[in-house]
Amino acid sequence: MAEPAEAMERVSGAVEWRVSDTPVPYEAAVAAMEARVADIRAGTAPELVWLLEHPPLYTAGTSARDGDLVEPGRFPVFQSGRGGQYTYHGPGQRVGYVMLDLKRRGGDIRAFVHGLEEWLIRTLAQFNLRGERRAGRVGIWIAGRDGSERKIAAIGVRVRHWVSFHGVALNVDPDLSHYQGIVPCGIREHGVTSLADQGIFAAMPEVDLALKRAFAATFTALPKSPAA
C-alpha cells in the first residue's frame, strides 16, 4: 500500500506538524503513533501533531459498552485503547493525533485534557462558533437556540510513559448519519453536529490553519533540551 501524501512542518517551537491529504487506515495510524511515542520517550524525535482523516469506521474506547454499538456490521470496529466509549471517524472529520511529552510539560494529565478542550474552543471561535465544555460530558458542545446541545468535537487520549497519543476529532463536514450506528460517547440524549451543519462551509486547509493558530495560543513551546 502506498504511503499517504503528507506535508510536514515545525511550528510552535519544537512541535512537528504532519498533515495527511488522503484517508489513513486506522491500524496504520495507531502503529505510527506508537512508534512515535517510543521515539519521543527516547528523545530521538520531537513532539508531533498529526492531522488526518480516516475511512468510515467506529472505535471503541476502554469504557465502551456493547449495547452502544447499534449497527455492528455497518463499518469496521476497532478497539482503540484510548479513554472513552464509541465514536465515529470518517471523511469530512479532522482528526488531530497529539503526541506530547507530558512529563516535560508538568506531568498533569487533567491540565493536558483541559488544554485539548481549549484548543478546540479557540479553533471554533475563529469560525464565530461558541464551543463549550459540559461537566460530566467529554468533548466540545454547541448549544442551540432551542435549548438542544450537540457535540461537535470528541476527545479521547491515551498516555504511555508520560507521552500522549490519540487526541481529538472535529466534525467539519462528515456524513452525520454515520453516527446512527453507535451511541456516540455513550450519550443518548444529545446529538452531534458539524461546522457545515452550523452553516459554516470551511475547506479542510482553512480548518488546519485555525487548528495551528489555536494550538500555538494554547500550548507553550518546550524549552530546548540542554546539549549532551
Cα 130 from chain centre: 18
Reduce the DSSP state of residue 151 to 3 states and report it: strand
Q: How far is CA 188 from the centre of its chain?
A: 21
C-alpha separations of 53 from 29, 46, 82, 93, 132 in Å: 10, 22, 18, 6, 24
User: What is the rounded CA–CA span in Å between residue 31 and residue 28?
Assistant: 5
Question: Interhelix angle for 109-125 vs 204-218, to 10°?
Answer: 130
Q: Which residues are catalytic?
A: 185
Cα separation of 83 and 102, whole Å? 17
